[in-house]
Structure formats: structure tokens, C-alpha cells
Structure 1
Amino acid sequence: MLRRERNAAVQNNPNTTLVTPIAPITTATHGGRAKCLQRLARLELPVPTTVALSFDSVHKIASGHLPDIEAILKQFPQDALLCVRPSSEDPDWGGPSAILNIGMNEARYEVLCGTLGTDSAAALFTRFVQSYAIHVDRLDPDMFDDIAGEGPAALADELNAYEAETETPFPATRAEQLAGVLKSMARAWEGTSARLLRQAKGAPLDAGLGLVIQQMAFGVGQGECGSGVLQLVSSKTGMPQITGRYLRQSQGRDALRADAASLFITRDPRGPSLEETLPDCFAQLVSHAQLMRAKLREEMQVEFTIENGELRILDGVRVARSSRAAVRIAVQLARDGIIAREEALCRVEPNTLNELLHRQIDRHAKRDLLGTGIAASPGAATGKLVFTANEAQASAARDEDCILVRRETSPEDIRGMHAARAIITERGGITSHAAVIGRGIGLPCVVGVSDMRFQTRRGQLVTSDGRVITAGEVVTVDGTNGTILLGAPEMLEAALDDAFQDLMDWADEVRDIGIRANADTPADAQTARNFAAQGIGLCRTEHMFFDAGRFTVMREMIFAESSDDRRAVLERLLPMQRADFIQLFNIMQGQPVCIRLFDPPLHEFLPNDRNGQRELAEALDLPLSDVTRRIEAMMEYNPMLGLRGVRLGVTVPEIYDMQARAIFEATIEASRDGDPVVPEIMIPLVSAKREVELVRTRIDAIAAAVSTEKGATFTYNLGVMVETPRAALRAGDIAQHCSFLSFGTNDLTQMTYGLSRDDAGRFMSDYVRQEVFVEDPFHSLDIDGVGELLKLGAERGRSARPGITLSLCGEHGGNPESIAFCRSAGFDYVSCSPFRVPVARLAAAQLAIASQIE
């Protein structure tokens, strides 16, 4: 049996509180709905009488302790019907369904038949019986399926069905009904399923629920009656636009039902509107909404009821909004002086900016799901399936949109990736080749698709339900959510409007850490410039060599027999590299450009298949056996830990010599008509200071030679990419020969964990689910492990060379959590993919604001 707490003074009781302007109500104790209703009462809006139950009170109800029901009921007229609605701290956490018309019984029904009419009274009673049976007594909704028609006869049938199912009459008193509703809603909130559901939405384990008990304002009756909602902005765009619906003879949010014969809110050529039908009520509604916007400092959706032409405000909820609308709403509130710019910045979740930067699938579009994988690069694109890079290039030449499907991509696929609209791979993780390139060029990408069979030779994808999707069929890739869809659903275009620009400008005014971009080509650099990156933090020069005109030259260099032969071949690449760097310097207009010297193992430039090897032999005029033998000799068991990075610079120094000369000659050329360019040259995969000494000696010598040859002086900075654990541990030794240390967290995470970033996607979800890792370490920086190496490296590097510049340039660079870590560790800047720059700028601003508040 439930025990009752007697003698509760509702007006002053913190747990069962009459909502008045001065009542002790807070969002943290009674929930957002209760607090909003109190604010509406303070604004003297026509809100029906309401009692708010606190989190503690609802928790006690769930455990068997009812509040004083009679004391609560005394706050309302004796014949008033009531409704109960949930009031959680965050509306996104959900809650049990509202119950309307509490207090309906035979006697009340007879009275309402005389005032509202028999049909309207029967409709109210019928609705309540069904709602009570389903939500309070947990009866099967099917029990009412055989009841046909409306009015008194249908009502009688429903009451009989209820009594037959429960073997008791329908509860007759308002107190009994209210007690049943409160118990049901409290226990529903504390049930296991509800807990798991709201935890998935980010609610804490102990999240509380408040309840609001409100006097019903009838939307049904003899005169002009109805209910509806109104808001002042578009939920899709955030632009000023009075929208909503009004449904005559209705209650609650009935007007929003898809099948409701609702009126428009404003005048509309398609049909009647509230503005025309009840101009005075419409004017009051707009006025109330404007007042709520100004005083509640938010765009609100007003829930209202009209009873015989008289307006009642039942609730105000935050307007639902797309990411695009969220930005405009926050910015416009700040422009109007309603909130501060700092608050506007903090109201926009940084990662939602991805939806503004890329095309997205309309959230209301129908989706025919084919498969799912890892959301590796945001945005959405539609095109015909192709299965090779050459087919992608051919499609682009025909001006046809295509989706490139590969088991996994390699550098040879880069031209096809640029030609495609999106990428799908069977293998790979968040930092795999396809993912990194996709994010860099803004190409939607889904990797690690394990629930589809890739039959690439046949040009087919086979779904888990047996459907066969062949080359040429149209599919859509949703890189934001990691899904692949059949057909072409409706899209929303990217929206970089004036509101977005204002938000970014305000972010730059307050953030206190630099934001650069990873850019490998002039096109990437222009994107970075468009997004106001403060320079290039990582230019991976190897991507410049995969152009068709350079690919063969690189292969010739690899097959050269001597140092002189290699140098002669590389002379042909020199003007191409120089032109690349001149373009980069000109685009960035004096901002810093950090160029990483050649990093990948040379075998990546060589074909693996027999046909490719035969073509290479013909191109180089060599016997096929010699080509095959050379390729086999260069293969490595673990190429990511083999002859790459600085190890190439030490053992095959001609490559770095050529690149250094190209950088310095481009520096001189780009400095002629503008500010002096100060390039930053970064040595990859360093593990020992001697590696830096050897490479630095050669680069300094080339700088001196170019300066003498050209009769020009210039300056440059040389630094190291810290991506091995040993480099982080020995940063004090290495820093003595460097101007900067840039932490490459992709490889550093890989080597710290002993975990392949290309293969981890196959099992990472299992690891996260079983709490081996809190999060995929390639997606979210591992603060405890990899972060400890970053701290050690930063401290030891700064100790040896106090003025050294510190940065992070891995894929983690655009994550708000990583930026927070870098700020606390004293880093100077982070560098991320160009399309992540706005996200990083906003996240950095929010962190700076939060630190000032603390």
C-alpha cells in the first residue's frame, strides 16, 4: 500500500508547489517545464493554475509514498479537470506521455453534456478512458479495436471493456485517478527501459523527473474552441517566420498530427487560418511569443488552447531546430541584444557545424538502408556505383556523379577519389587512408562496412538481406551517420550564410589557441583559407606525387641504380614541386605553411598486380622479371614501421634534397610581390636526435646554396613531427635542433597501442561496447595514455628549448576534447582537416569562455 504524506502546505512546500511567481521552483529540482511555467506566470501570461511536483516527490511516489493528494486538489476548482505532464531537467531526455482530462466520471460527464454538448463531453471522457487504460493500467490498446463509432454509445462500450478487462469499475473520483496517474508516471520514469533510453541521450544515471499538474483548458465546446502551437521562426532555417497549426475542437498537441484537418496559423492561400478566424487571439499569441523570446532569452514554441474565444497558454518549449537554424537563432538573439555574444557561441554544439559545411540528407526524407559502417567523413552525396578509380575518372569526364567502392583505398586511388562524390570501403577505421583523404577534401566517406559483402570483381554489393546492388545503380552515402542508402533521398544544401560568418568572427575574438589546417594541395589550401585557418599546420607532400604526370617519374626514381641517377630523375620533379609550393604560399598570403617532407614507403608507388607490373616494365623499358624482382625486394612485412619518413631522408637523401630546394626556390619567388614567406619544414617519423642532425645538415646546406644562386636571403624554421613514443620521451634531446615540435597523433596512437589504425575498425566497436576502451582512440584522443606522452614531450621539449612551438596535427586536431587538452598542455595551435576548421574555431572559443567563467 502507498502511504500518504499528510498536511502538505502546497503553497510553500518545496516538493508539491503551487506555481506562482515567487514559488521555490528551479530547473534542477522541478524540471524545465515547471520552471518555464513559473516564468510565464511572472510575465502575467494566461497560464492555467498549476502545481509542480519536485524530483524528490516523484522519486518518493515511485517508491510508495504519495504526496497529500487532497491538498493538491484544493488548489483547483472542485469541478476542474486536470492534466499531468512530465518535467525533466532536459527535455531531450524525454519522459512519460501526458495524461489529459483527469477527473472525468459519470457525474462530470452529465454536467459537461449540458455545457459542451453530448458529443464533445463523450469525446473527452472517451479519450481519458483510453489514455488511463493504456498508460496507467498498462492494458493492451487492442482491447478498444472492436469499439466503433463515437458519442455516448462508444463511451459506454469503452467503460464496459475496461471493467471486463480489469474486473473493476473505472476509477470514479478525481483523487483516485490522479493518484493512479502519478504512480504510473513516476514508476515509468524509474523503470529499467526508461533509464537506459535516457542514458543513451546523455542523461546522468540519477536524472530526476518532475511532474506538473495543470487545470485543463478545454479545446472543445460550443463556441470557437481548439488547440495549437505557434513559433516565430522556421525550425529548418531559423529565419523569422510565424509558423504553427491550429485545430478546432481539439486538445493538447492534436493539431500537429499528420492527419489532422488543422488551420494555418497565418493567412495562407491554401486554406483558412487562425489569423483570419480569430484575429484578436492571433495578435495576442504573437505578442506573447515575442515577450517570451525577449524575457526567456530563447525562441519558444507556444502551446495554447482557445476556449469560447478566450486564449490560454499551456506551455512554452524550446523551438526544435536544425543545425542551420540553431546557428541563426543564437546569432540573431545576440544581434538583438537579448543574449551576449559569448552565450551565443556556447549555445551551438561545435560538431553540429558539420551539417552546415556539407550537404546533408533531409531528416524527413525516406531512407532505404542498404548497410552501415563507420562515419569517417561527414556530408552526403548521391551517385552511380563504380568499383575502380579509373571508372570514377571516366564518370567525371562524362559529368556523371559516382560513388567509388573499394575494399580499401590506396594512394593509387587518389585521382579516382577526387573524381567521385563519395567513398565506401569494406575495411578501415576513422584514420584509414580513405577517411583521412575524405575529410581533407570534404568528400563523404563510410568505411569499415561489415554488413555488406563486397564483390568488387563482379561489381556488386550484397546486403545482409540478400539484395544485390550492381555497378551503375544509384546509391547515397551519408558520411555523417555512417549509412548507405538506395536511391536519391531529398538533400539539404550546405549553408555558410551571414549568421555562420558572424558566429565564426565572434569565436575568433575570444579563442586563445591557434587553428591551422592540414592541406596537401592548392585546392585544400584554398578551402582552409576560405574557412579562415591561421595557416597550414601539415602539408603532406607525398600526395602531390600521385598526379599522373608525376607518378611515372617517381617510379623511375625508385628504379634508378645510383644516387646520381636518382638525382637526375628528381630534377624533373623539382619544377613541379616548386610550382606546388608557390601556389600554397600565394594562397595563404603570408600565413605560416608547415611542409612535411616525404613520408610513405616507396613501395606504395609500385603496382601489386601483374597487369600493373607489366605496364610499368613497358614504361621503363625494362624486362618484366627485373621489375617484378625489384618490387618483391622492396616489399616489407610491416611497411608502416619500415623504410619511411626520416629513414628515407637518411638512406635516400636525394628526395629530401629535391624537396628542400623546391621549398626554398618557391619561398624566394612567392616573397617577391608580398610579405616575406617563412616556410616551416617538418621531418616525419623521427626517433633519435641524430636523424634530425643528419637531415638538418643537408637542408641547411641546400638553403645556403639556393640563397647564393638566387642572390636572395630568406629564413625558415625546421621542426619534427613527433609520432613515435621514443620521440616524445626524448623530446628534450630532439628539441635542441628544432624550432617546433608537431605531435602527429595518428601514428603516435597507433604505435602507443600497437594497434593498426587501418584494421582496428573491425573490432573496435566490440572493445568500446565491452568498455575495454572508453572510445575509439583514433577518433577521440586517449588522454591517459597518448596524452601522457604528449605532456611528457611538451614538458621536455620546452625545458630544453623554452621558446619552441608546440602543436598537434593529427586527425584529433579538430575534436573539442583534444583542443581542451592542448590548451591545458600549453600548445600553441592545433591543425585539422580544412572542413573541421570551423568546428575547431568554435570549440576553442567555448573553452576560452569556460575558462574565464571558472
Structure 2
Amino acid sequence: MATLDKYCYYFGEGNPSGPGAKLVLGGKGISLGVMTNMGLPVPPGFTISCPTCQAYILSGNKWPKGLEEELDTYIARLEKDLGKSFGSTEDPLLLSVRSGAAVSMPGMMDTVLNLGLNDAAVAGLAKKTGNERFAFDAYRRFIQMYGDVVLGCEHHDFEKILNALKAKYSIKGDTDMTVEHLKELIISYKEYVAKKTGAPFPQDPKTQLATGISAVFDSWNNPRAISYRRINKISAEVIGTGVTVMAMCFGNMGETSGTGVAFTRNASTGIKEIYGEFLTNAQGEDVVAGIRTPLQFSQMTTMGPMWAGISAQLVKIMETLEGYYKDMVDLEFTIEEGKLWMLQARAGKRTGAAMIQIALDLIKEGLITKEEALLRMDPAKLSEVLFPMFDKKAAKTVIGKGLNASPGAAVGQIVFHSDACCEWAAAGKKVILVREETTPEDIEGMVTAAGVLTVRGGLSSHAAVVARGMGRTAVVGAGCCHINMDNKTLTIGDRVYQEGDYLSIDGGNGEIYDGQVPTVDVEFGEGFNQIMAWADEYRTMKIRTNADNPADCAAARRFGCEGVGLCRTEHMFFEKERIGVVREMILAESFEVRSEALSRLLPFQQSDFEGIFRAMDGLPVNIRLLDPPLHEFLPHLEEVDYIKTHAKQIGITYEKYVSTIRSLHESNPMLGFRGVRLGVLYPEISEMQVRAIMQAAVVVQTEGVVCLPEIMIPVLFSDKEMARLKELVTRIAKEVMDAEGVVVKFKCGTMIELPRACLVADQIAEHAEYFSFGTNDLTQTTFGISRDDGSKFIPAYQENGILPTDPFATIDQDGVGQLMKLAVEKGRSVRPGMSVGICGEQGGDPDSAVFLCKLGLSYVSCSPFRVPGARLATAQAAIKVMQEEKK
């Protein structure tokens, strides 16, 4: 690692600028420098750079050579500017030490305020300010924060001590504590620290500062920061936080002091109105922690001339900052005895609805262009406009957390089996299906459930994929949950839930709440439609949907899809009236018996396709022939009663039934007897499916529906497989069309999901009329990682920088992406301009969109509720590619 020339940057002086500045100073350091140069009231200070933190981490948590000396220089500069001395016992300079990464990570890392106080300095501060209560209040705050962040003492232990003192003296609020109460509290705090750490509370300010800075560096790798980066897909290549060291300003000096947070526009609705809260006689953590009920920003003007003047000053500053950022700004401020100080400014977090409204307003105000508006928007946040949301005003008790697999808010009574889910839902109950993990047999339960909660599985697991496809809220991989199927109980922490108890789950953030949390419906209107129209102007790829039934097709079409990119025919087999016939077909000992069972399945399949074709009138429908291995359709060996009953119904012995189940068991089903291999060995299965597709197309076409079926062969690795199935498809299609005297325009293509298929794509393209990348399986077979089991270690790989992102969420461009590039080039060398799409869940991922756009894909396909986000993401990708080309 190269030696750094400079570690610290005084606010506004010689600070880096340009696109890479945030990687040096972090967001907070940039904002403080900007505000200083604007002449806004910012406490003097400096930023220790993000690369300094990176050097610290990479050297095993050691300060880089020269940092200590440079720090002394900058502290001396602060002392000179303020006329105070750090470590003085008469007029001490106190410091705020705060984190500030290049990527906004609110609340994830640590802060230490009031640093520099000790037993002697607190007395000097009291004398200098003439405010003894303020001085000792600042000291008790410092001991608690430093003890928690630096010394490893438990925050809740400090709270216990504080609450015990309040109870002892019948004190209601923190501001009601007298000087004597605070002195007693400080003694108790120091006693606790000494007992916990085995050493007295540190009295040397220089030691406090060094250890405080190191603690903020260390907080880059605390569990919540790691989780935040993983969840928000912040690249592992971004390492380290900046640290701002600035003079303390005190909002806890009495009723002419205070602290607050404000937004220049309403962060919930996007309306252009100041939206904020503040507290008098408080420091910043009081607002965040909710210790006291804050006042609304609008109340400031009613509190007397001084506060009205502060309000007017803040409004003017907000206008200045909005003009600079050309966006809604989130700012933090402190008032010290009537003097306003600005502590931070940044583009504010907002809801999906606010994101749309703010973008539209900024365009109208001439601050940004359409392109800038589209590039700023978060495609994932569009889901907030489509799904129900929990009422933000409602009280919530978070009891656990998993992976945010499918957005929305779900409230219901928990059940542990798919059958119970169907029964309870039929009785009019809202239910949440709770499983260790879901299987294809859970499909009916998932259809009827309000939400799905699983203990295991990743973001591309069965539960996640199917839930997204159906628009069901889902939280998966919730390892905090423990299911006892015998007792039908769910344990989360110290809470035990019986079947029928209520839970609420948030598929947007993965949180699990106790009981019933109220929800609100969010409707999208003109603003949403306008953003989508603009996105459609720019995007070069079409958007299709992964849908297996007419309802999902209709939903996706409402959201603007342009066809079905993946219809999974196996999902149609699991309904109650069909699964028995499917099993009879699998268990058949002769071609005749198998064909008879298939003839009974055909009407079901045909009916399904008719509904889908009607819903997608005029749009292409890409239908994948049977993909999973046959054993997935058979019951588990433990289901003895069912097996005996069904065996008797179909005329075979129990032993034969069990023998077939065992014979079809596979050690690695993902790489086993599935997909095209079923069609090669049992062509009658594929023939039935093709006949059902074509007969459905003929029926709806005679109704006036424009039907454009695409028949896709899965899991092939050879042109010979493709040639054989292409002949089957063409033959059956011709038979149906000749018999009915109707011509249906159809295509036959393949899903590219194995590395070998990419390598011989030109050979396959001799027979396949289109390609569709199945990137879930292509990722599995390229990495040699199961998408369901990978969740056990992929997060750790991300944390350790081995994987920058989860490859099942974002396309691995260096490996999987190169195979895709090769397949596109080879395929189109044989069939120029052939349609190439993607139907893996990565197709809806904004971070993959630019790569797919450069690849020249014809379309991306995603679950219905991700269609709007995909429309926006592909528009952003097209704009970025266009901008790159202009350069």
C-alpha cells in the first residue's frame, strides 16, 4: 500500500474536489468543507481521510506513521483559531469525533462527543461558562458515550444506572436532574467503568482523542455496519470511513440552546415544505434516541424573537444548500446560547413516493434535467409505491431480522404447513406461512398467504423467487427464528409464538415485528406514470416478466411489461387436482399408462396457457418446458398414509411406490435428471406440453387474441439436444396447426444456463431461434455454489472482500458475464440480430443493468412487482452508456 502524503484536511482549505473527493473526505467531510467555503456557520475542525482509515485497517489496526504528529499540528491550529487549549483545566477545548464514510451509512458507525473532559476540566468548564449544570451534564454524557464506544461498556448498563438514579429521586426527565444528581451519576458511571474494564476512567485528553479516533476507525467493521453494506450492496472495494474532528458546540446549555435535524422537503411525501424536529437544552443523540418528544420545526417561530431569528436563518441556509446540491437536503444543526452552528448537510433519504415527487418538482424548478432525475432515482424504491406499507406512525416492536426477499408489509396469523395456510385463508384469515424453507409443494400455501417467513434460504431461494413472482411479501434466511414442528411453535429470542399468533413482516427491510402492525395502501398516480414514461424514452432493452399464471401476467402488464420472459410450467403441476395425476405419470411402468396420465394433464396445461395468452394479448410469452427433476413432484417417504392411499388408487403396491421414490432420489438434483434430459428420455412429456401450448394458442387466436408463443428448452449443453427437441416442437406444432387449420407464429429457443452452452452457443444457435440466459443456474454452475446453500458463507466472503457482491443478486461480470458475452457473440454470429434475453433474478438488478445494456440484450425479465424498477434501471443503464460514449 502506498504511503499517504496527507492524513488530515482542515475544513474548506485545500480539500480534494471532483468525483473522487468523497473517497478521500467522506460525505460528512465534503459537506463541512462546502459549508465552510459558503460562509455558513460551521464549527472549525478537520477531517482525517478515508484512506487513513483504510491504512489503519489493512495494517492490523495500527496508526500509519506520521498520523500522530500531523494530528498534533491540526489540534494546535484548532486551539489557535478558538483561543482555547485542548486539555486545559480552565478553558478546555472539547471535541466532537464523528464518522463519515464515502457512502452514506446513517447510524451505522460511531461518534464520541464532549471529548477532552476529565475531573479537573469539568470544574474549569463550569467556572468558565458560569453554568455548572451544563458542565457536569456534558461530562456524564462523555463518560457514557466514550465508555460505550471506546471502552466496550454496555450502553444499557449506563441506562440502568441512570434510571436507578431517576427512580431514587423521583426524577422524570434528564433535564430535571440537578447538579448534585449529575455529580452522583458521574461517580456511579466511573465506578461501573472501573469495574467493567479493570481501570479508572481515562483522564488524559490526548489518550481520549487517540483512542476515540481508533474506535471510530474500528466501527467501520462493526456488525451493523457490515450488515448495512451487505444489504445495500456497497462494494467491498470501498474501505474505511473519514473521521471529522471538530470543536464541540453545545445545545445543552439551557433554554437558549438546542439541537435538531431538518429536511428541506418532506421526506415522506416529497412536498416542498421544511420538515424537521428539534429539542431545546439537548445534544444530538437526544433527538435520535427519542429520549424526549421533539418539537416540530414550525414551532420554532412561536418561541420568541431569538428562536424566530434562528428559524429564519435556517430557512435561508436551506435555500442556499438546496441550490448547491440541487436536491432535497438533510441537515443537522445545534444552537449554543442563541448561536446557530451547522454540523452536516447531505442529500436526504426519502420514501419512494417522495423520490418521485421531488424529482418532478426539481425538474419543474429548473434545477435538474430529466436525465439527472432518472439517474438519481433508486429503482428498488419504486416497489414502495406498489406494495402496501406499514404505517410509519405505528408503534413497532422489532423481534428479529432476515433477508428482505420480496417487498411489502404482511400481517397475519402464523401457520407452519401449506395445507393449513390454504384452510385458514379459505376461512377468511390473513396468514403468514412460516417454514424452515419452502419447496415447490408449498406453492398453494404461498398463493394464499399474506407473507412468507423462512429460516433458511437466500435472495434467490425458492421462497424468495416465487414470492417475488406472486407479489407476496417475504423475509427469508431469518436465522433468528427457531421452529418446532412437533409443538407448532416459533421461537424468536425469548418470545415463543403458537400457531395462530400474529406476526408482521416487512419485506422491504427484512424486519419481523411482534403482533399486528397497521398497514397503509400506497397508490401510484401521475407522477409515477410520468417517471415511467421518461424511463421508456431512454431504455434500449425491453422489459418482460417472470409469470406463471394469468393474475401475475395481468399485474405485470399493469406495471408496463412487454411480454413474459419466463413461464415456469412446473408450477402448474402442484395444484391439488393435478399433483396426483403428475405422480401417476411419474410412477407409470409403461408408455401407455404414462401417456394416459399425460392426456389427463393436457387440459389443465392448455387451460393455463389460454389464460396467460389472453392476459398477454399481443405480447410474446416465453414458456419453459418442464425443468425440475421428477423426484420433486413425489411425496416424502415419511408421508406413509398418503403413499398407501395413492398407491391403491393408481393400482400399484406400496413397495413399488416407495421403490420409485428411492430410485429417483438424486445426490445433486441441480446437475441431475432434469430439463432437456427429461424430454430426451421421455419425449411424451414434452409432446404433451407443446401440444397444450399450441392448442391453447389456436383457441385464443380464433377469439381474436394475438398470440406469440415462444417454446424454450432448458438445461441443455449440446446442439444435438437442441436439434432433437426442436424437431419435436416443430412436429407437434405442425400437427396441431394442420388439424385446426390455423397458423400460429411461434419460436423455439433455449435457456442458456450452463457454461458449456455458452462455449458452444454458435452450434446451438443453428437450431435455437432465441436465447434466454438463466443466470441463477449459470451462476451456480460457474461458481460451483448452490444458490440456496451459498447464503451460509457468501455474506462472510463479502465482508472479507473475496466477493464484492452476492453473485446471485448482481451479475459477476468477470466470470459469468464473460460467458454471457461469449454466448451472445457466438449466437449472433450464426443468427444476426437474434433475440437474447435474461430471465434470472439478476435481470431486475440495477447494478447489472449497465453490463446487460452494453451486452446488447434484447430484454430483461423479472418478477411482476420488479417491472417498474427494471424499466427505470434499464433507462439509467442506457443513459450511462450514452454518456460514456460521448466521452
Equivalent position of 1:6 in the other structure: none
Matches within 5 A, 1:374-773: 375-425=404-454, 428-447=457-476, 452-462=481-491, 468-480=496-508, 485-491=513-519, 493=521, 496=524, 498-558=526-586, 563=591, 566-567=594-595, 569-608=597-636, 609-620=639-650, 639-672=669-702, 676-761=706-791
Residue-by-residue CA offset, 1:345-394 (whole Å, 9 max, x unaligned): 33334344455544456788543536x65554444423223233221111
For the 8 Å contact 1:448–1:762, the answer to whether it is kept is: no
Cα distance, 1:811–1:151 mapped onto 2, change above 3 Å: closer
Residue-by-residue CA offset, 1:804-849 (whole Å, 9 max, x unaligned): 2222222332233443443343332222222233333333233333
Cα distance, 1:124–1:741 mapped onto 2, change above 3 Å: same
CA distance in 1, matches of 2:477, 2:248: 54
Q: Percent identity?
A: 35
Q: Which amino acid aligns with 1:644?
A: R
Residue-by-residue CA offset, 1:516-548 (whole Å, 9 max, x unaligned): 211111112122212212211111112223333
Q: Normalised by the size of structure 2, how large is the TM-score? A: 0.78
CA distance in 1, matches of 2:441, 2:187: 74
Q: Work out whether 1:297 is the aligned partner of 2:326.
A: yes
Q: What displacement does 1:620 show?
A: 3.6
CA distance in 2, matches of 1:576, 1:485: 40
Q: What displacement does 1:704 show?
A: 2.8
Q: Which amino acid aligns with 1:592?
A: P
Equivalent position of 2:111 in the other structure: 96
Matches within 5 A, 1:342-361: 342-359=371-388
CA distance in 2, matches of 1:755, 1:528: 31
CA distance in 2, matches of 1:800, 1:807: 17
CA distance in 1, matches of 2:30, 2:671: 59
CA distance in 2, matches of 1:533, 1:346: 21
For the 8 Å contact 1:516–1:831, the answer to whether it is kept is: yes
Residue-by-residue CA offset, 1:82-112 (whole Å, 9 max, x unaligned): 7656473545374533438999887886575
For the 8 Å contact 1:719–1:739, the answer to whether it is kept is: yes
CA distance in 2, matches of 1:34, 1:626: 72
For the 8 Å contact 2:726–2:768, the answer to whether it is kept is: no
CA distance in 2, matches of 1:31, 1:626: 68
Q: What displacement does 1:737 show?
A: 0.8
Cα distance, 1:308–1:468 mapped onto 2, change above 3 Å: closer
For the 8 Å contact 2:96–2:245, the answer to whether it is kept is: yes
Q: Which amino acid aligns with 2:367?
A: I
Equivalent position of 1:123 in the other structure: 133
Residue-by-residue CA offset, 1:308-339 (whole Å, 9 max, x unaligned): 77766565454344455445444443343322
Cα distance, 1:428–1:590 mapped onto 2, change above 3 Å: same
Q: What displacement does 1:625 show?
A: 5.9
For the 8 Å contact 2:126–2:133, the answer to whether it is kept is: no
- The 3-state SS of whatever aligns with 2:641 is helix
- The 3-state SS of whatever aligns with 1:475 is strand
Q: What displacement does 1:257 show?
A: 5.9
Equivalent position of 1:802 in the other structure: 832
Q: What displacement does 1:739 show?
A: 0.9
For the 8 Å contact 2:216–2:243, the answer to whether it is kept is: no
Match of 2:270 among 233, 238, 246: 238
- The 3-state SS of whatever aligns with 1:64 is helix
Q: What displacement does 1:732 show?
A: 1.8
For the 8 Å contact 2:48–2:243, the answer to whether it is kept is: yes
For the 8 Å contact 1:229–1:304, the answer to whether it is kept is: yes
Q: Work out whether 1:258 is the aligned partner of 2:286.
A: no
Residue-by-residue CA offset, 1:645-670 (whole Å, 9 max, x unaligned): 22332333333333323333333444
For the 8 Å contact 1:217–1:312, the answer to whether it is kept is: no
- The 3-state SS of whatever aligns with 1:418 is helix
CA distance in 2, matches of 1:557, 1:155: 79
- The 3-state SS of whatever aligns with 2:708 is coil
Q: Which amino acid aligns with 1:398?
A: A
For the 8 Å contact 1:231–1:319, the answer to whether it is kept is: yes
Q: Work out whether 1:209 is the aligned partner of 2:242.
A: yes
- The 3-state SS of whatever aligns with 1:702 is helix
For the 8 Å contact 2:44–2:78, the answer to whether it is kept is: no
For the 8 Å contact 1:219–1:305, the answer to whether it is kept is: no
Equivalent position of 2:172 in the other structure: none
For the 8 Å contact 1:199–1:205, the answer to whether it is kept is: no
Number of paired residues?
820
Higher Cα Rg: structure 1 or 2? 1
Q: Which amino acid aligns with 2:833?
A: G
For the 8 Å contact 1:743–1:809, the answer to whether it is kept is: yes
Q: What displacement does 1:592 show?
A: 1.6
Equivalent position of 1:63 in the other structure: 68
Q: Normalised by the size of structure 1, how large is the TM-score? A: 0.81
Q: Which amino acid aligns with 1:529?
A: R
CA distance in 2, matches of 1:764, 1:168: 40
Root mean square deviation, CA, Å? 4.7
Cα distance, 1:814–1:24 mapped onto 2, change above 3 Å: closer
Q: Which amino acid aligns with 1:235?
A: A
For the 8 Å contact 1:365–1:489, the answer to whether it is kept is: yes
CA distance in 2, matches of 1:259, 1:662: 65
Cα distance, 1:162–1:619 mapped onto 2, change above 3 Å: closer
CA distance in 1, matches of 2:23, 2:725: 60
Segment of structure 1 superposing worse, 35-44 or 227-236: 35-44
- The 3-state SS of whatever aligns with 1:209 is strand
5+ residue gaps, structure 2, are 1-5, 54-63, 85-90, 170-175
CA distance in 2, matches of 1:158, 1:354: 48
Q: Which amino acid aligns with 1:97?
A: V
Q: Which amino acid aligns with 2:691?
A: R
Q: What displacement does 1:400 show?
A: 0.7
For the 8 Å contact 2:647–2:654, the answer to whether it is kept is: yes
